A and B are shown apart, each in its own frame.
Chain A
Amino acid sequence: MIRTRVIPCLLLRGQGLVKTTNFEHPKYIGDPINSVRIFNEKEVHELVFLDITATNEKRSPRFDLISNIASECFMPLGYGGGIKTLEDMHQIFSLGVEKIIINSVAVESPSIIQEASDLFGSQSIVVSIDAKKNFFGDYCILTHSGKIKTLWDPIKWAQEAEQHGAGEILLTAIDRDGTMKGYDIPLIRSVSKSISIPVVACGGAGKIDDFNKAIHEGGASAVAAGSMFVYYGKHRAVLINFPGDEELTSGGLN
């Protein structure tokens, strides 16, 4: 029986790892290569790295860094940030990365989702959706690391992405990011029930029970977390951590 995927989602800023709150106030966490080694030892299920400044800085992905990270990773690795072309994707895959994650470029030019899916296989194309509640309590999608508002709502955009051949949706609630107060379950549920491809929930996880809620109440297929795996204790000391299988199972996850 398939095990629920629990995925650390790590943010790259320059050459270092950072953690944000509501997509702002990046705080330095540590060296990405060291973190990969630690997560490897802890046998995490999958890892995701997102370069949060590449698109806004109009720069390409840092291929050298990606290569170094990939060479230490013996589990599936996803990378996102600054990917603009099929050539970028091809290069990233050849470095040993399993999935590419696209956000801004997908909204700007949705046909790239289909092209990428046809070329590389839909299971390796993840569309990342960053959603934020507006003044009226409705959700809208933001691109460029939360800097640019679009007119899309998460459900319609997720459906559009699925139709274009996306293999998976990484759904992040900007308002929950870094808070460790729990996922936005209504958001997750509204998106997962309107598409048939897997949804990875992100934004707000603070404890294993949050994973349960995202899966069983939200209908997510997998769960991602940032703060929960890089901070420890009530003073949020920086410490890379990942629960063992027994902890996850006894927490009700498998």
Chain B
Amino acid sequence: MVLIVNYGMGNLGSLVNMLKKIGVPAEISSDIKDIESAEKLILPGVGSFDNGMKKLQNLQLIEILNKKRIRDKTPILGICLGMQLFTKTSEEGNLAGLGWFDAKTVKFRVNKDSSFKIPHMGWDTVNIRKPHYLFQDMDINAMYYFVHSFHVICNHEEDILTTSHYGYDFVSSISKDNITGVQFHPEKSHKFGMKVLENFCNN
């Protein structure tokens, strides 16, 4: 059973719709017991870093998420803000992140008069840096929908799963052991996003 963690940040409707479309039974919950019994977890997220961490703290989910990660080695997929929360800190806020990756989240550095407007919003490609089931059989023309003003910087090269380019190369997905994170929104990326979710759920 795939569980979508509902911590009040993010557009769960689209995620549920796409999972339904690909025939994966999924539940949405913020209940510790439900998270405890999930086989896989998805941490979605749209919004600001501090808001995200505060909500996780208020719902007392950090402990159970850590248990699932370390004790059960449950596959966990972070999406957009969800992925950023895996890092240690973010320039967007003051609170500490989950710290699951030795990485930080920073604002896009673009010149004020550059043609690169913030947020990075739209369809873009990813460059795969290491083999991983998430991008198995990725279509050569695959594009994914991004909408973000901050991006992750990894301190360890081996955590980088894909990079993308917007003014400069930046990390667009990360993975380590049973944890993966994607900066883009698979639930909004048509058949390409569907493939990513399928790969995650069926692995």
Q: Are B187 and A74 in contact (CB under 8 A)?
A: yes
Q: Is the CB of B11 within 8 A of A93?
A: yes
Q: For window 26-80 of chain A, which residues contact chain B by CB distance below 8 Å?
A: 40, 43, 45, 67, 70-71, 73-76
A134 within 8 A of B: no
Give the Cβ gap from A78 to chain B, nearest Cβ, in Å: 11
Q: A1-43 toward B: CB 8 Å interface, digit per residue (1/0)?
A: 1111100000000000000000000000000000000001001
Known: A3-B123, A198-B117. A94 touches B147 (CB 8 A): no
- Interface segment among B13-21, B62-70, B100-108: the answer is B13-21
Interfacial chain A residues near B193, Cβ < 8 Å: 74
Q: Which chain A residue lies CB-closest to B186?
A: A74
Question: Do A3 and B112 have beta carbons less than 8 Å apart?
Answer: no
Residues of A within 8 A of B125 (CB): 1
Q: Which residues of the other chain, B, contact A167 by a CB distance below 8 angstroms?
A: 119
The count of residues in chain B whose C-beta lies closer than 8 Å to any C-beta of chain A is: 38
Contact B17 A76 (CB under 8 A): no
Q: How many residues of A contact B (CB 8 A)?
A: 35
Interface centre among A1, A96, A221 (most CB of B within 10 A): A96
Residue B143 at the chain A interface, CB threshold 8 Å: yes
A-side contacts of B118, CB under 8 Å? 196
Residues of A within 8 A of B165 (CB): 1
Nearest Cβ distance between residue B186 and chain A, in whole angstroms?
10
Contact with B117, one of A1, A70, A197 (Cβ below 8 angstroms): A197
Interface residues in B136-169 by Cβ distance below 8 A to A read 141, 143, 145-149, 165-166
Chain B residue with Cβ nearest A95: B13
Q: Is the CB of A3 within 8 A of B143?
A: yes
The smallest beta-carbon distance between A127 and chain B, in angstroms, is 15
A-B contact pairs, 5 of them (CB 8 A): A70-B14, A74-B14, A96-B13, A98-B147, A221-B121
Known: A74-B191, A120-B46, A123-B149. 4 other contacts (CB 8 A): A2-B122, A96-B11, A123-B147, A167-B119
